Structure 1
Amino acid sequence: MTLGRAWVSVVLWAPLLAHAQFDKTPWPRSQATPKMDVVDVQGQRWTSADLKGRVVVLNFWATWCGPCKEEMPSLQALHKGRVDGQSDATHAVVIGINVKETASTVRRFMSAQHLDLPVVLDAQGDLTRQWGVRIYPTTVLIGPDGQARWRVVGEVDWNGPISRAWLHDLRVQPVSQAVRHP
């Protein structure tokens, strides 16, 4: 390949690679899915039992985290069940877990960003430790059977075709198949 062709390849592929800022890995088979019993900032209680039968997008984030802020609009759209102004067949339950910030900080951020998705405060970091989260944003994808299937570290466009395919696969694949295929 000539230097000119190599340069053209870099220029053409760079925008696509720039958006691939996440790492999706299977949830470890040896790690049990933590049980949930939490209350969001609006006062709604969320339990593992109540979420059974639904695909759950559990997103760990903070207001100071740039990539977290960038993905919030697409998480809000996913929460609303809308993509590109249309009803979305891959609708999932989206729950944000805010890490170690005050209720007033989170409420101000949510108001400024026009967010109404459920957000749980993890003031002491207990949920974050329980779910093994060390980097923000981290999203855990949970299948309708209540089992964590995937951990996605980094910013994701939750309106994009890649993430929509993940959510579709969660609905249709049994747990034994879902954890085998990256």
Structure 2
Amino acid sequence: MLKRKNMKTIMILLLSMLFCCSWNAKAQTKETLQNRIQMMTKESDPEKNVVSMRNIIRDYQLDSVKNSEDIDVLKGQVALSFLKAGTFLKFEIYIGLIRNKFNQTSYLNMAADQLFRAGNNMDYAQALAQKTVELYDSYKDDPSARPDGFPLEDWNRFMRMAAYPYYETYAAILHENRDDKTALIFEEKALKGIDLDDAMSSSITLYSTLLVSQGQEDKAREILMKLDPIQREGNDTYRTKIAKTMFTNQEASNFSLLDLHGKRVTLADLRGKVVVLDFWATWCAPCVASMPAMEKISKQHPEVVFLFVATRENGKDAALRVASYVKMNKFPVNALMDQPMDQHTELFQVASAYKVDGIPTKVVIDRKGKLRFSTKGYSSDRELINELEAMIAIAKEQ
């Protein structure tokens, strides 16, 4: 069976559609609607989330027509909290109240994925995943499903992106429930039109596993043989391209932060080693999705120091929240807590020093303490690993 921890990034496509996980360094200190919604994701009592939803609608004077998208998100969060509490009837009630079909499909898929990752109620997870793809198929070619003001070209691209996680989730659950024949059909739908080079490693693993289970060993071998040798960090053209983005003679900003055990880590003390900084947050879906790839590359390079700077983790329980995430996932190690600047609580010291305007951001520093690379965002494990491999190799040569 496919390990559940490998089913890791299919949700970032949906989450990035519904929320913006990139933040501006000049963010206003005023509490925003997004902040209120994020607080709902951390609430374990679904009835309290019902109250929060009503209060948000009242406080922001959300109109059922003009602000229907925001209200859909609120209902989706309430539905997921009932799912997590095991109250499936109320989950279905609130899912049914979501007005936009795309939003409804997205939250259905999130629900199926959450049950899958928890390994609980797999029959119900399969039913939700099946309902997801059936609902998606019912409107994906329907022009009337496109929201007003949504450009047609963007909508078509939007729908193609959505198909990947919807079909992928269903295929993974079917595989877990030992229906590989049907799982293969939907995994191929998930990968249709996608360059396998850009597919998640978990997708390739699942696809090849399903092919073998259905007697298509040759096709599985062909795919793996094609993908395994692709290590662009060893490709001169790719290395040249990456080298062009290198900072030439810029001193890396020194910092001194505490790790989760209270130990102080200072950049100056790491002179003589290549250092990789990963700016992340527990609430940032792409940051979390990139962690398995970061774990893999950090294990491949024990000579490199990887420091995971948790930034913009607001609130007095920030360190506890990060520690809880690390304990649950057993990664990242070397997690450091960035600190807010005294007069601007939305600005954090090290992130500001490195001009980080969106997360995840990876920074590579050479042995002499020079800033060499800074790269923002996450799209796939393969791209991230190849990019960092090239950057680390170049930094070692400086």
With structure 2 as the length reference, what TM-score do the two structures score?
A: 0.35
**Letter of the structure 2 residue corresponding to residue 157 of structure 1:** D
Deviations 1:76-101 (A, max 9, x none): 2334x3xxxxxx35741100111122
**Contact 1:78 1:94 survives alignment (8 Å):** no
Q: Name the Cα RMSD after superposition.
A: 2.6
Report the Cα distance in structure 1 between the residues aligned to 2:385 and 2:268, rounded to whole angstroms: 29
1:48 aligns with 2:272: no
Question: Which protein is richer in helix relative to its size?
Answer: 2
Alignment of 1:26-37 (within 5 A): 26-27=246-247, 29=249, 32-37=251-256
Report the Cα distance in structure 2 between the residues aligned to 1:46 and 1:127, rounded to whole angstroms: 12
1:38 aligns with 2:257: yes
- Alpha-carbon shift at residue 12 of structure 1 (Å): 7.1
- Alpha-carbon shift at residue 114 of structure 1 (Å): 1.1
2:294 match: secondary structure: helix
Gaps of 5+ in 2: 1-191, 201-241, 341-347
- Alpha-carbon shift at residue 73 of structure 1 (Å): 1.8
- Alpha-carbon shift at residue 38 of structure 1 (Å): 1.8
| Among 308, 329, 336, the residue aligned to 1:96 | 308
- Alpha-carbon shift at residue 137 of structure 1 (Å): 0.3
Give the aligned partner of residue 195 of structure 2. Answer: 14
**Letter of the structure 2 residue corresponding to residue 169 of structure 1:** I
Question: Which protein is richer in strand relative to its size?
Answer: 1
1:160 aligns with 2:385: yes
Give the aligned partner of residue 3 of structure 1. Answer: none
**Contact 2:277 2:307 survives alignment (8 Å):** yes
- Alpha-carbon shift at residue 152 of structure 1 (Å): 0.9
1:77 match: secondary structure: helix
Paired residue total: 151
Structure number with the bigger relative contact order (C-alpha 8 A, sep ≥ 6) is 1
Report the Cα distance in structure 2 between the residues aligned to 1:128 and 1:168, rounded to whole angstroms: 24
**Letter of the structure 2 residue corresponding to residue 16 of structure 1:** D
With structure 1 as the length reference, what TM-score do the two structures score?
A: 0.71
Moved more, 66-75 or 131-140: 66-75
**Contact 2:297 2:385 survives alignment (8 Å):** no
Report the Cα distance in structure 1 between the residues aligned to 2:368 and 2:392, rounded to whole angstroms: 14
1:160 match: secondary structure: helix
Shift in CA distance, 93/168, structure 1 to aligned 2, threshold 3 Å? same
Report the Cα distance in structure 2 between the residues aligned to 1:147 and 1:136, rounded to whole angstroms: 21
2:288 match: secondary structure: helix
Give the aligned partner of residue 8 of structure 1. Answer: none
**Contact 2:273 2:303 survives alignment (8 Å):** no
Give the aligned partner of residue 373 of structure 2. Answer: 150
1:165 match: secondary structure: helix
- Alpha-carbon shift at residue 48 of structure 1 (Å): 2.4
Gaps of 5+ in 1: 1-10, 82-87, 175-182
| Among 114, 133, 150, the residue aligned to 2:330 | 114
2:372 match: secondary structure: strand
**Letter of the structure 2 residue corresponding to residue 112 of structure 1:** M
Fraction of identical pairs, as percent = 26
**Contact 2:276 2:304 survives alignment (8 Å):** yes
